[in-house]
Chain A
Amino acid sequence: MQKEIIIAGFGGQGVLFGGQVLTYAAMDAGKEVTWFPSYGPEMRGGTANCTVVIADEEIGSPLVKNPPLAIALNLPSFDKYEELLAPGGTLIVNQSMVDRQAKRKDIHVIFVACNDIAEELGNKKLLNMVAVGALLTALPEITMKDVERVLEAHLPARHKHLLPLNCEALKRGFEAANKVPA
């Protein structure tokens, strides 16, 4: 088994932490895993992305050109990864930040209004967890419980009080993605 995930969006949308949550969950599930961030000037505004590779055996390339799974948190990322996604793959798109429909028919594009859901929960920074929750519908190797345990263990101390809200965000994302007809 090997699965690759790219998470992309604006700097500040929680792209890197979203990827780390999946990485910790995969590690705790006994998998091999790599987390590879974009570390260039894009970290200071502009777009950011990270690649997570989850596998049963030693991982070769930590980068992937055509991932089977991706999260696009803004329009430029939607444009880029809709084109690059492997046929049959699943793309989670943050509907709150895009103004167009999907073009490709050979991939599953799931629109989830991450910003709106996060704001309903009272904290717009939760949008990355909404997106991660949505992605879990296409990543059976990692369960919601796995991710909740990760958040409990690795959420920075200053954010610990946000644990219940983070878990709620995950759940809302998962449910929203499940409601979208395949």
Chain B
Amino acid sequence: MTRELWKGNEAIAEAAIRAGLEAYFGYPITPQTEILEYLSRRMPELGRAFVQAEAELGAINMVYGAACAGVRVMSTSSSPGVSLMMEGLSYIAGTELPAVLVNVMRGGPGLGNIAPAQSDYNQAVHGGGHGDYKPIVLAPASVQEAIDLMVLSFDLAEKYRSICMVILDGSIGQMMEPAQMPEMKPIRRADWEWATDGRMGKRERRILTSIYLDPIEEETTNLRILSRWKAVQANEVRYKEYFLDDAEFVIVGFGTAGRVALSAVRAARQQGIRVGLLRPITVSPFPFEVIDKLAEHASAFLVTEMNAGQMLDDVRLAVRGRTPIEFYGRPGGVVPFPDEILSEVQRIAAGPLSIVSDPRDAWYERMMATAR
């Protein structure tokens, strides 16, 4: 296979097609519009369904309907648009359907801006729609990884009858990198035992619903959703390690913040600082166990994010107060440069560090001091 130069958003669209995407519903919003634009051309060419909905609310409910029929379906949007989809997402979760949603995140809250951000981590991983459910959330850091994870997202969604979200920041959507596309897979509709795809008078009626008026029945449904989630946690944790073998200090960062940290790690290594990087690829399920193990030997952790400290809370949960944690974030659509993270690493290596101070409070104080 030869490498071709792909723009992140277009690569995501083509990868979804090659993974067997049969129906797409969406609404334009920067910085993900190229996905919709690309699919508006390619999907009709292939005889597949493309609908630009009247709004995000319509799009996600069209996804809901197509998912009920058992077809490979996805929508894509960016932060404010994804917020609009949360009700539909909860219904999809409650109905136990596979669906894929891509969020090319931008600066927020509110209308915010169109710059790259990671401030929807909590919405994707911990929050989102109402009710007890957890989506699988994948966080690519490059165009190639975005392609690979798009293909994986459909398989995971179907395997666990779950929502699979792919979250990336606007920079990965907009940048170009050499990448290899997978082979085109034919459209294949699995014979799902749950799909409401027309019984043709041949079999029992199937009912897909998120309404369980009897609380005991709803509780049973919740526990069934949880049992699938436990399997996801056991089987699907993915991450990438860099220079961790002898690392005294460990940076944890996902997506673009993770790859910017890689530049800082290399620069720090040249100065003799033994620092490594853990880059979660699945942020849900989160790699708690690997961080738990790293906490046994690391002198300190540095969490880097393009937000005000969201994944930070998950790292703290894994470290459980055994080792100092420091935080460096740039919220609002600012992408950090490697030298910013490098100076954090230098500060940490110089010590001393407190195990009791709140890493977010300490970071906030440093940010305010710089601003003054």
Contact = CB atoms under 8 A, between A and B. Distances in A.
Contact of A34 (B175, B264, B338): B175
A32 B262 CA distance: 15
A61 B174 CA distance: 14
A30 B114 CA distance: 33
B174 A63 contact: no
Nearest to A65: B337
A162 B5 CA distance: 22
A62 interface: yes
Contacts, number: 60
B335 A63 contact: yes
A37 B178 contact: no
Contacts of A27: 3, 5, 178
A65 B265 CA distance: 17
B176 A34 contact: yes
A33 B177 contact: yes
Of A23, A32, A39, most B-chain CB atoms within 10 Å: A39
A60 B176 contact: no
A20 B7 CA distance: 11
A100 B15 CA distance: 49
Interface residues of B, number: 26
B176 to A, nearest CB: 4
Interface string A119-153: 00000000000000000000000000000000000
Interface in B1-56: 3, 5, 30-31
Interface in A29-88: 32-37, 39-40, 58-65
Contact of A60 (B3, B170, B260): B260
Given A24-B5, A60-B266, A34 B177 contact: yes
A20 B115 CA distance: 21
Contacts of B265: 60
A93 B335 CA distance: 27
B131 to A, nearest CB: 36
Nearest to B340: A65
B338 A60 contact: yes
A60 B259 contact: yes
A61 B260 contact: yes
Contacts of B259: 59-62
A20 B176 contact: yes
Nearest to A32: B178
B307 interface: no
A60 B178 contact: no
21 contacts: A27-B178, A32-B178, A35-B5, A35-B177, A36-B171, A36-B174, A37-B175, A39-B30, A39-B31, A39-B114, A39-B170, A39-B174, A40-B115, A59-B259, A60-B259, A61-B259, A61-B260, A62-B175, A63-B171, A63-B260, A64-B337
Given A35-B177, A60-B261, A63-B171, 20 more contacts: A20-B5, A23-B5, A23-B176, A27-B5, A32-B178, A34-B175, A34-B176, A34-B177, A36-B174, A36-B175, A37-B174, A39-B31, A39-B114, A39-B174, A60-B259, A60-B265, A60-B266, A60-B338, A61-B337, A62-B259
4 nearest interchain CB pairs? Answer: A60-B263, A60-B262, A35-B176, A61-B260
